Structure 1
Amino acid sequence: MSQSIYAEIGGREAVEAVVSDFYDRMFADDDLTPYFEGVDKQALFAHQVQFISAVAGGPVEYDGEDMDAAHDGMGITHEAFDRTAEKLEAALRENDVPDEHIATILDDVEALRDPVVEEDVAAPAGAV
């Protein structure tokens, strides 16, 4: 039986480091910060740790809203989705996650494009 990605990359501590790095990158991007206005950043961090842990095969189940509900009305564009995926990839690389695991995680994220991107809703002012 092979180890999960979660175990191979270092478990919760490693996932928290990746998520912290990821949000540092997201909040430093002036084109993405409008999406986070009025958002509880601690809750967002906790849900993202839970989500990445679940995607990586950790002993965690994601109990947040489904992706449609969580992103409904946010006006997330394909460009913003792509920039977010790029920031996640950079955070994974910065935290020494092996390439094959990065690819698996990013494939799982890409599968969420349709429920997250809203083509017919305007992006927040100042957002991509």
Structure 2
Amino acid sequence: MSQQSLYAEIGGREAVEAVVSDFYDRMFADESLTPYFEDTDEDELFAHQVQFISAVAGGPVEYDGTDMEEAHDHLGITHEAFDKTAENLEAALRENGVSEENREAILSKVEALREPVVTESASD
């Protein structure tokens, strides 16, 4: 059994950057999600997401961004938006050759953030 980190298994920083780039292409193409990114510095967002995914995957970095609840509280994120975000991340991971086992490991860590990130129910 391999002892290398999930980060190393998926290809390290270069792979994480490719996943994050694909992820944001998907996020910004989804009109239901773009309002969440108004007045957002996309370069800063990209850098934070690379750092976050790297940390979640056991990479050689510590996530030093804002607390998840504090960072997302003002956005009014719904469960539906969270689900779409997770779907976009899963698609980006798959598109970039991340194995099913590693996708599931990353997505389970993201799912653990639902409670601090989601602040509203879907309006339907």
TM > 0.5: yes
The Cα shift of 1:119 comes to 2.0
Report the residue type matching 1:70 in the other structure: A
| 3-state SS in 1 of match to 2:3 | coil
The Cα shift of 1:54 comes to 0.3
- Looking at structure 2, the residues matched to 44 and 26 of structure 1 have their Cα atoms a distance apart, in angstroms, of 12
Paired position in structure 1 for 2:118: 117
Paired position in structure 2 for 1:91: 92
- Looking at structure 1, the residues matched to 111 and 9 of structure 2 have their Cα atoms a distance apart, in angstroms, of 22
- Looking at structure 1, the residues matched to 104 and 23 of structure 2 have their Cα atoms a distance apart, in angstroms, of 16
Give the fraction of aligned pairs with identical amino acids, expressed as a percent.
Answer: 75
C-alpha RMSD of the superposition: 1.7
| 3-state SS in 1 of match to 2:65 | coil
**Matches for 1:18-97 after TM superposition, within 5 Å:** 18-97=19-98
Q: Which runs of 4+ in 1 moved over 4 A?
A: none
Unaligned segments of structure 1, at least 5 residues: none
Aligned length: 123
- Looking at structure 2, the residues matched to 119 and 92 of structure 1 have their Cα atoms a distance apart, in angstroms, of 27
In the TM superposition, what whole-angstrom CA distance separates every residue of 1:81-108 from its partner, at most 9, and x where no partner exists? 0000000000000000010000000000
The Cα shift of 1:72 comes to 1.2
Which of the pair is proportionally richer in helix? 2
- Looking at structure 2, the residues matched to 65 and 6 of structure 1 have their Cα atoms a distance apart, in angstroms, of 22
Q: State the TM-score, normalizing by the size of structure 2.
A: 0.95
